[in-house]
Amino acid sequence: MKQKVLFLCTGNSCRSQMAEGLLKALRPQEFEVYSAGTAPKPIDPMAVEVMAELGIDISGQSSKHIDELGGIEFDYVITLCEGAKESCPFFPAKRRFFHKGFDDPPALVQKGMKKEEILNIYRRVRDEIKAFIEDLDSYL
């Protein structure tokens, strides 16, 4: 039986979507993966673009409010940003609830940046999330 994992982030538009896509792609036999947010926004097209560079298509994923997943009993709940950690400190997890924070790519983008500079920010965060996913067993 697959273990259920929920990645939480405020907007459920970038980091949690990347984490969901990565875990689904890297360990599909072991985990049933979800993501949600406390104030969901549409999926960030730059996140979709940098994930596609790895051959992972997250364009079909959708942003969800955490309340939409209230009937699911998760084995692990992982917050990826401070906002979600503070907004949902007691979201239930059967086995473990923990926080692993990552920079918010849209918050790091500055006016006047070239697209390649912006993509490099997204790639860095994507790669940090990927390394976390690859080492997930050490956290669980």
Q: Which residues are catalytic?
A: 9, 81, 88
Query: What is the strand order of the sheet 96-99 is part of?
Result: 31-37, 3-9, 76-79, 96-99
Q: Say how far apart CA 51 and CA 66 lie, in whole Å.
A: 23
Length of the chain equals: 140
Angle at alpha carbon of residue 25, lines to 24 and 30, rounded to 5°: 55
Q: Is 47 helix (H, G, I), strand (E, B) or coil?
A: helix
Q: Cα torsion for 78, 86, 80, 94, to the nearest 10°?
A: 0
Pair 61, 20: CB distance under 8 Å: yes
